Structure 1
Amino acid sequence: MGIARNGSKSDEKADKSSREWCAEAAARLHAERPEDALSAARAAADLDPAGEWPHRLTGLALERLGRDRDALPPARHAVRLAPGSWAARLGLATVLSHLPGHWDEAAGQAALARRYAPERPEPLVLEGDLALLRGTHDRAEAAYRTALDLDPGHLQARVNLGLALLRWDPARAHHDPAWPIDPRETGRARRALEVWSRQAHLLAALATVAATTLATAFDLGGPAGMAGLAGLAALVPLTLRQARRVRIWRWVPAMLARDPWLGAAVLSAVVSVGAFAGWLGSALLPGTSPFLGPVWGGLGLIAVLSGPAHAALRLLAQTWRGHPLQALSLFTTASFIPHPANAPGTDGPEATSDASTTEEGAAQHDAGGPAERAERAARGDTGAGGVHGVRVARGDVGAGGVHGVRVARRNAGVALWILIGRTWSVLAALTAVALVAEPRAAPVAVAAGVLAAAAPYPLLRAFCRVPRPADHVHRAAGRGPRPADHVYGASGQVPRPADHVHRGSGGVPLSSGRARRGVGATGRAYRDDPWPAGAVVLLVLAAAGCAAGGALGAVWARLAGPAALAVVAVMFALLSARAWWRGVPGPWRSSLLRCDLPAGADPSVPLHPRVRRAFAYARSAVLTFGDPLGPRMVGAATSVGPAGDLRVVVEDEAWQAVEADPRVAVFAADPERGRHWVEVRGIAVAGPGSLRVTPKQVLVGEFPGRHQRH
């Protein structure tokens, strides 16, 4: 907060209202400036302690800063102030999902948010994120697809759906977020187990190679046995050192069950050490020639090759896991869509569905003819004032949208390399079959050549569909570009305000470390990137060589195909080494990122003083709610709470109906202006002695009179 020239720190604070501070906090939050958003949200909370929006933004800002423990009190307080607010429930669920032992409560809050706002995609996206972090990919995929049905342009849902299709595992795949244990403890245990497995593999392999070399090449059997015993003895302090770092042994079996590859690495290390011990013990027995027998040779090979075999098997399994073609389509459509600059404070589209009356809006609402006023009242228009004169654009604007686009492009690059790896493995297998079968089994070689010719087709088709950076056309899954369509699922129609939800500006520079973290140019999905482009060309040449060598028997092709495959392998190794040296993400599955953009910062719906007076002094009010037999209306007594929600006293049957469907509407006539009426549509939650209705939409209209007869 700045200091005025006259030295007063409160001048800037006094110049803005609480909702203006909230709008600025939301803009800073979407621009990935959580520190500034926190200061603005706290300024808004000081001006309006009973407001739900300032406390919700405070919790969201603290959550983006990683201070989840500090974010929990303001998030819970926002829910207490507005129990029917879907955004408050969403913010609380986001904070709870990061705290150990609160996963079930987070899932319950997300379900309430979806129940209170079934028309919004954000609760479904959060449910998908919760399922994705637990590894239930099918459930996450269903949630993301439902969210995209509501908003086809939702950036986070589109990117994370691609991760679900790839069967992506988070960095903490060994840890179940529902466990009541700190993930740092399980992470420390996993690190110790991984380090021990690597050390055991390396030590067993080196000791085996050293002992074999001394015994066979230099005929030093005694020193060879001593070298083997020294390697086996060196493993004891390494094991004890890593075992002391594992402080949660009772959780280790569950960790190994959740992360099968971690369990496979530990098991492979145990097998390697056991094979080395058996090989060494057999070698030291008197009267035997251990270095010449097949049993001892097999044990030595297990000790040496156990680690590389595990790494190769894991790489192959990760290459063939998931659906990279569909994921690549989702990533590319999320990467190259035009993102309009809808920053708060500009003339971008507003959240008209959640609008509320203001002083300016009420004045403009009375202007114009009766038909115009009735039309504005029917659609909930509140004039050009917006929320107390501040325009608030919904969605991921500013740097947040740019961050999501860069995550999508990085994931597209990784998905493309996964496709390259699949094609390479298929061509390598077919080339090996063709070389071995020729000339003894010519039909087998011909069949391998024919299959190799068609193997690169999926990769080539996917690579040609990746747009260039200058392309700004929408590419739907499985279809070509539609030049006139600049909105997901718009079908040539004019974009609605809701179509701009979760679309960044595309030109705002990243302003925070969180927005820039790990989202470099390594995962580019451009056709002009030389690395994947060269790999695709070489794979096509390898396929042609395998086809010519197997089907036609060309001698040159038998060497050209394996040579091209070898060059692709070298390219991948060089690219991986460069990424490792620079400390940037490489072309492997672990470089995939989950799109995590701020959600739940939408403005609350305030009640204009005139609306408050109408409900406070109305002679009668009507509550409408859903019933199994149809919509019903009952008389009610209303008042306005300090947090801006309606307190409604009705019969018991309405309470039972609200428990089944909390969406209600409260209607009352304005006693000060006889021809006018007000209606509040919102979510009703049972409170002490009355129903608390959190507004979602406020309508102001006029009863028909003589001037509207015709």
Structure 2
Amino acid sequence: MPWVGSDAEGSPARARRDLGSEASPQGDPRAWSGLAAELLGRGRPEAALKAARQAVEREPHGEWGHRLASLALERLDRAPEAVEAAQEAVRLAPGSWAARLRLAGALRLRPGRWRDAWAEAQKAVKYAPEEPGPHALSGDLALARGDRSRAATHYRAALQLDPEHTGARINLGLTLLGWPAPRDEDPDGQAARQVLLAWSRQVRILLAVALVAVTVAALGFDLHLEAQIGGAAVLAPVLAVTVRQAGRLPSWARLAAVLGRDLWLSLSVAAAPAVVAGYVAGLATLPVHRVVPAAFAGAAGLVLFNQAAILVLRLLVEAWQGRPLAALAEFGAAAGERVARRNMDVALWIVAGRSWWGLLLVSVVAPAGASWAAFAGLGVPVVMVLIGRRANLRGVVRRDRWLVAALAFLVASSICLAVAGVMPDMRRAWQGAWLALLAVLAAFGARAVRARWRGSPGPWRAALIPFPIETGDTTPSSDLTDEVRHAVTFSRSVVLSYAGPHGPRSMAVSAVTSVSRSGELRVIAGEESWEAVQHDPRVAIFVGDPRFWAEVRGIAIADNDVLRITPREVTVREYPGRRQARTQ
């Protein structure tokens, strides 16, 4: 356990001195673990790590201490050590859903470990389907891979178990919005993305500037041939930029995967060779005597306005992605959280963008006096009413006044369109609708400039953020007392209960071979029970002793010739006739 010895305290007295007056435990490892859990709940990961290490030093086979240490290390941004501690907890208690959840949470922070994190999270779901934490983490992992359907399924499962689960509710709203989660977690993928974006940007800017200079030289100074020669020479720097950026790619094998996961990155990269082709076509059709051929105009438009075209296309596509009204309902239910309020504002901007595109289409297609234009124009006020009913909009005016202005202009535009549809002679109503739509664009632009200037979240999807779901359960693991260990090991009245294919089944156990120091039971049972635990690993062991009955509920894992049962709940009951009952 290298993470324990890195800076572990030399003595209990020194540990208590470092922790202050709160370090009251003496030699009880579970008391030290309880103190670590308390310190984690109070936001003191450094002190919690010290307490957890004291618990581990006193009881190296205790899963609880390792699990708490892993959570404290993660909060201290020591991800590799957090993974090691979580792996040790899983090794000691392979059937513990809390240990599996902690390992999944630690692995998801490591590049290239998504599959391992997903496997551990699914084991946690299987071991404890009644716990919301594993479902919420599974939703986060699915969302990180862009599998929004599976993510929504897990988030809804978590909310069914715990309707007050804030993280699951907010992140469910992101799935409903179609949030494009970042998918390249490994350093090679991130580096390849940056190189591709830099290459595309440099090539397009260089050729746009060169084409403007060539056009000015040809039309302004009548240097047609010289301009063509100079323009052709610019292709040499383009080639040099391409070779230089190609040398910076960390791995060509990752190129296809990076491009395949991001549509807009692929479109931006594909625009670069298209701009090169347009630039060459522009040189070939360079105008003479200020007569601009149509081919040159098209080529120049491609070279100069490709980025603007991609931006408009992206705004159009993203405005119609997802279900913003349903997402607003989820954000509104968790409006007490800052993340929910931020995402709510972005979702409202998405609704505004969708309404703007709809009104623009109506104003362009519908002739003045068209009755259906009036009904279409009234759709925006209806949407605003639905938003008010589904979402908690308190504080929106204070947080984003440009958003309120944009929504007001949209309502004004819709009313003007409705009036123009009913009264064909009201040309000013038609003009007012267009002016209101332009005002919406102005409000969006002002909000975007303000966000860029201040470095704050903007009115676009990239400003959406997930809620950080805690992946550390600090509840204690079950502890087998000496009397229960003795009864399990030496009793001849041991019964195993499990869920069979046709309902609950019980069978006498051939033998309990041993009980490990961590409390794990190793049981020899029949083949039928082996097949059953593959489907549902939740089992129970009933043990008879001359003094009491013990019931050990836990998770069974088939390993070689035995079932390894990790206790989750231990109950000790005295025989009928005695009034006392003890639950561990």
Note the alpha carbon deviations across 1:602-630, whole angstroms, 9 max, x for none: 42122244433443554532222222243
Q: Secondary structure at the match of 2:285?
A: helix
* Matched-pair contact (CA < 8 Å) for 2:214–2:227: yes
Q: How many Å apart are 1:49 and its aligned residue?
A: 0.9
Larger helix percent: 2
Q: Residues 32 and 300 from structure 1, CA distance in 2 versus in 1: closer, same or farther, beyond 3 angstroms?
A: farther
Among 190, 194, 203, which residue is 1:187 paired with? 190
* Matched-pair contact (CA < 8 Å) for 1:272–1:302: yes
Q: Residues 577 and 463 from structure 1, CA distance in 2 versus in 1: closer, same or farther, beyond 3 angstroms?
A: farther
Q: Which residue pairs with 1:458 in the alignment?
A: 383
1:531 partnered with 2:402: yes
Q: Residues 468 and 279 from structure 1, CA distance in 2 versus in 1: closer, same or farther, beyond 3 angstroms?
A: closer
Q: How many Å apart are 1:226 and its aligned residue?
A: 5.7
Larger relative contact order (CA 8 Å, sep ≥ 6): 1
Q: Residues 242 and 706 from structure 1, CA distance in 2 versus in 1: closer, same or farther, beyond 3 angstroms?
A: closer
Unaligned runs of 5+ in 1: 178-182, 337-404, 470-523
Unaligned runs of 5+ in 2: 1-6
Among 263, 266, 271, which residue is 1:263 paired with? 266
**In the aligned structure 2, how far is the partner of 1:35 from the partner of 1:192?**
38
Q: How many Å apart are 1:135 and its aligned residue?
A: 1.1
**In the aligned structure 1, how far is the partner of 2:445 from the partner of 2:178?**
24
Aligned residue identity for 1:334:
A
Q: Which residue pairs with 1:547 in the alignment?
A: 418
Q: Which residue pairs with 1:646 in the alignment?
A: 521
Q: Residues 424 and 10 from structure 1, CA distance in 2 versus in 1: closer, same or farther, beyond 3 angstroms?
A: same
Aligned residue identity for 1:212:
T
Q: Secondary structure at the match of 2:378?
A: helix
Q: Secondary structure at the match of 1:678?
A: strand
1:627 partnered with 2:552: no
Among 667, 685, 690, which residue is 2:542 paired with? 667
**In the aligned structure 1, how far is the partner of 2:261 from the partner of 2:578?**
72
Q: Residues 36 and 264 from structure 1, CA distance in 2 versus in 1: closer, same or farther, beyond 3 angstroms?
A: farther
Q: Secondary structure at the match of 2:465?
A: coil
Q: Secondary structure at the match of 1:691?
A: strand
Q: Which residue pairs with 1:420 in the alignment?
A: 352
Q: Secondary structure at the match of 1:247?
A: coil
1:60 partnered with 2:71: yes
* Matched-pair contact (CA < 8 Å) for 1:420–1:459: no
**In the aligned structure 2, how far is the partner of 1:528 from the partner of 1:260?**
32
* Matched-pair contact (CA < 8 Å) for 1:649–1:690: yes
**In the aligned structure 1, how far is the partner of 2:117 from the partner of 2:106?**
8
**In the aligned structure 2, how far is the partner of 1:124 from the partner of 1:7?**
41
* Matched-pair contact (CA < 8 Å) for 2:136–2:158: yes
Q: Secondary structure at the match of 1:601?
A: coil
Q: Secondary structure at the match of 2:444?
A: helix
TM-score (norm: length of structure 2): 0.88
Note the alpha carbon deviations across 1:527-577, whole angstroms, 9 max, x for none: 774232222111111111222234323233233222222222122112111
* Matched-pair contact (CA < 8 Å) for 2:192–2:254: no
Q: Which residue pairs with 1:272 in the alignment?
A: 275
**In the aligned structure 1, how far is the partner of 2:138 from the partner of 2:354?**
31
Q: Residues 414 and 220 from structure 1, CA distance in 2 versus in 1: closer, same or farther, beyond 3 angstroms?
A: same
Q: How many Å apart are 1:689 and its aligned residue?
A: 5.2
Q: How many Å apart are 1:310 and its aligned residue?
A: 1.0
Among 689, 692, 698, which residue is 2:564 paired with? 692
Q: Secondary structure at the match of 1:188?
A: helix
Aligned residue identity for 1:409:
R
Q: Residues 707 and 121 from structure 1, CA distance in 2 versus in 1: closer, same or farther, beyond 3 angstroms?
A: closer
Q: Secondary structure at the match of 2:519?
A: coil
Q: Secondary structure at the match of 1:408?
A: helix
**In the aligned structure 2, how far is the partner of 1:10 from the partner of 1:528?**
46
Q: How many Å apart are 1:263 and its aligned residue?
A: 0.9
Report the number of matched residues. 563
Aligned residue identity for 1:417:
W
Q: Which residue pairs with 2:3 in the alignment?
A: none
1:139 partnered with 2:150: yes
* Matched-pair contact (CA < 8 Å) for 1:419–1:459: no
Q: How many Å apart are 1:468 and its aligned residue?
A: 5.3
**In the aligned structure 1, how far is the partner of 2:130 from the partner of 2:334?**
22
Q: Secondary structure at the match of 1:335?
A: coil
Q: How many Å apart are 1:278 and its aligned residue?
A: 1.5
Query: For structure 1, which segment, 252-261 or 290-299, has the greater mean C-alpha deviation from structure 2 after superposition?
Result: 290-299
Q: Which residue pairs with 2:434 in the alignment?
A: 562
Alignment of 1:11-410 (within 5 A): 15=25, 17-29=28-40, 33-171=44-182, 173=183, 175=184, 183-221=186-224, 224-225=227-228, 228-229=231-232, 231-283=234-286, 291-336=291-336, 405-410=337-342
Q: Secondary structure at the match of 1:590?
A: helix
Note the alpha carbon deviations across 1:179-229, whole angstroms, 9 max, x for none: xxxx21211111111122222222333332333334334544356446634
* Matched-pair contact (CA < 8 Å) for 1:640–1:647: yes
Q: Secondary structure at the match of 2:576?
A: coil
Q: Secondary structure at the match of 1:625?
A: strand
Note the alpha carbon deviations across 1:396-451, whole angstroms, 9 max, x for none: xxxxxxxxx222221111111111111111112222335xx34xxx43xx433431
1:607 partnered with 2:532: no
**In the aligned structure 1, how far is the partner of 2:71 from the partner of 2:532?**
33
Q: Which residue pairs with 2:551 in the alignment?
A: 679
Q: How many Å apart are 1:590 and its aligned residue?
A: 0.7
Q: Which residue pairs with 1:585 in the alignment?
A: 457
**In the aligned structure 1, how far is the partner of 2:67 from the partner of 2:553?**
21
**In the aligned structure 2, how far is the partner of 1:594 from the partner of 1:707?**
51
Aligned residue identity for 2:332:
T
Q: Secondary structure at the match of 2:571?
A: strand
**In the aligned structure 1, how far is the partner of 2:305 from the partner of 2:564?**
67
Q: Secondary structure at the match of 1:321?
A: coil
Aligned residue identity for 1:80:
R
Note the aligned Cα RMSD (angstroms). 3.0
* Matched-pair contact (CA < 8 Å) for 1:426–1:455: no
Q: Residues 23 and 545 from structure 1, CA distance in 2 versus in 1: closer, same or farther, beyond 3 angstroms?
A: farther
Q: Residues 206 and 449 from structure 1, CA distance in 2 versus in 1: closer, same or farther, beyond 3 angstroms?
A: farther
Aligned residue identity for 1:532:
L
**In the aligned structure 2, how far is the partner of 1:525 from the partner of 1:40?**
44
